Amino acid sequence: TMSITDDGRGIPDTKKQEKGYGLLGIKERTYILGGTFSIQTEEGKGTSLIIHIPLHEWG
């Protein structure tokens, strides 16, 4: 599990609807690897990205 957190402005609702591909790309790659991706944000209090990718034995 990897968590990235800041104490910045958060992501306002208007920004959540933009058509950028950065976070979408992270989400898609996480799902391809069998993982989960979530964003927790509160305007004025910061944002956390949480990525969990399970470890597999490839032998």
CATH of domain 2-52: 3.30.565.10
pTM of full prediction above 0.75: no
Q: What is the pLDDT of residues 28-54, one digit of tens each?
A: 999 999 999 999 999 899 999 999 999
At residue 58, does pLDDT exceed 80? no
At residue 6, does pLDDT exceed 60? yes
At residue 10, does pLDDT exceed 60? yes
Q: For the chain, which residues make up each domain, given as ranges?
A: 2-52
At residue 15, does pLDDT exceed 80? no
Long-range contacts of 49-57 (CB under 8 A, 24+ apart): 49/3, 49/4, 49/5, 49/23, 50/1, 50/2, 50/3, 51/1, 51/2, 51/3, 51/26, 52/1, 52/2
DSSP 59: -
